[in-house]
């Protein structure tokens, strides 16, 4: 089959379809157009999508375009949304596979936090309302779309659970800006990745703040609880856009975490493409030296004052796994927030219903003894500065 004709991924046709589907034409400021066009070009020329991959990708691109159209229309009709205050949000950051997801889910059991769920990020308009937040028909629609990943690759469920009511990651929410490394995690598109390394990241962060204002307009949140491992690459921008933010920085043995994320990436790419995994195109994630450079850059930003040390709270993956309740209590104390008895009870109930390995064991290789010893030296500064224990 000529799958490119059967499932077209042409920039202008996608724009025309999104406008026809919504009856809207204003996508907002043009900051998104260049990355959108670069992304679509890279997908067509480099990603080598199979038929199902093209179907998924066309669906995704239209959802993101239509999301922008509807957000802009909602702001046009209700400019007062801009006056909403995103007050002292808490961001969870850290290496991928360092416990950011489970920490996100545990803290979200506390009623003082509000999390953006997958369904409301996918379909934010009309803005969710408190009275119908848990019964909105968009939940079922999002659930069907999100769980198709598990149906395509059942092993993915052991790595990362997806669902409509599960908290959404910031970098996923930024898909509609077309400036996010989430896109390089689902497509092998080196030219887009190269463009992204020079992009102005204040653009997606500012638009994300705009999305949060819209989501809290009719469903108020005391404090937003937000999460993405990618924030470690852009903490100065995060604090510029959210100056009163608090950051919880999770830490795990980088040798263990790096092997896990490599396996995850390979599975994500395989869902949409038969193209062999091109490790050379992702040296930032896969080369120990480059990975350590990224971790050490955060240390340098702390030491030179580029980011406020007092607003960054370290949390060890090993502690969270061994003593979750005690570890969370210490974290709340550091953040100056109450850890109520109700929140403690909710956390314990959640853990009881979701034991580790519930969906199977995520298996991956970490390398031979000599390789581990060499990498241990490379990651020494990071582990020493943050007191990160060896897992191997």
* DSSP notation for 11-78: HHHHHHHHHHHHT-----SGGGHHHHHHHHHHHHHHS-B-HHHHHHHHHHHHHHHHHHHHHHHHHHH-
Of 152, 153, 150, 210, residue with least CA distance to 176: 210
* Domain limits, the chain: 3-81+88-386
Q: Coil, strand or helix: which one is 2?
A: coil
pLDDT value at residue 284: 53
pLDDT value at residue 356: 57
pLDDT value at residue 157: 60
pLDDT value at residue 136: 96
What tens digit of pLDDT does each residue of 49-82 get?
999 899 999 999 999 999 999 999 999 999 999 9
Average pLDDT over residues 224-242: 96
The model carries a pTM of 0.91
Is domain 3-81+88-386 given the CATH code 3.40.50.300 in the classification? yes
pLDDT value at residue 359: 37
pLDDT value at residue 148: 79
What tens digit of pLDDT does each residue of 359-384 get?
344 444 556 788 889 999 999 999 99
* Tokens matching residue 282: 């992702």
């Amino acid at each position: 089959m000529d799958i490119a004709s059967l499932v077209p991924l042409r920039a202008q046709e996608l724009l025309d379809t999104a406008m026809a589907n919504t009856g809207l034409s204003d996508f907002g400021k043009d900051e998104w157009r260049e990355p959108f066009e670069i992304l679509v070009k890279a997908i067509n020329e480099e990603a080598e999508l199979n038929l199902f991959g093209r179907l998924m990708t066309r669906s995704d691109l239209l959802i993101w375009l239509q999301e922008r159209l509807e957000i802009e229309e909602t702001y046009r009709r209700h400019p007062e949304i801009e006056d909403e205050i995103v007050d002292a949000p808490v961001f969870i950051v850290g290496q991928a596979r360092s416990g950011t997801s489970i920490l996100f889910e545990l803290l979200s059991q506390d009623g003082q936090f509000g999390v953006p769920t997958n369904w409301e990020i996918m379909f934010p308009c009309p803005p969710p309302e408190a009275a119908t937040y848990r019964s909105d028909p968009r939940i079922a629609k999002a659930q069907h779309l999100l769980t198709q990943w598990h149906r395509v690759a059942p092993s993915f469920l052991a790595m990362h659970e997806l669902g409509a009511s599960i908290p959404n990651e910031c970098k996923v929410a930024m898909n509609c800006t077309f400036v996010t490394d989430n896109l390089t995690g689902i497509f092998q598109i080196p030219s887009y990745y190269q463009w992204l390394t020079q992009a102005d990241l204040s653009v997606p962060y500012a638009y994300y703040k705009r999305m949060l204002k819209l989501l809290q307009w009719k469903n108020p949140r005391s404090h937003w609880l937000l999460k993405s491992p990618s924030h470690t690459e852009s903490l100065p921008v995060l604090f510029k856009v959210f100056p009163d933010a608090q950051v919880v920085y999770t830490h795990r043995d980088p040798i263990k975490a790096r092997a896990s994320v490599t396996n995850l990436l390979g599975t994500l790419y395989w869902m949409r493409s038969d193209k062999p995994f091109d490790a050379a195109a992702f040296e930032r994630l896969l080369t120990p030296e480059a990975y350590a450079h990224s971790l050490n850059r955060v240390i340098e930003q702390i030491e030179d004052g580029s980011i406020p040390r007092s607003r960054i709270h370290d949390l060890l993956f090993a502690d969270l796994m061994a003593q979750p309740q005690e570890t969370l209590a210490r974290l709340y104390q550091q953040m100056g927030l109450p850890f109520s008895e109700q929140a403690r009870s909710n956390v314990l109930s959640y853990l009881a219903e979701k034991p580790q390995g519930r969906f199977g064991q995520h298996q991956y290789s970490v390398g031979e003894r000599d390789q581990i010893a060499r990498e241990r030296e490379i990651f020494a500064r990071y582990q020493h500065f943050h007191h990160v224990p060896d897992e191997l």
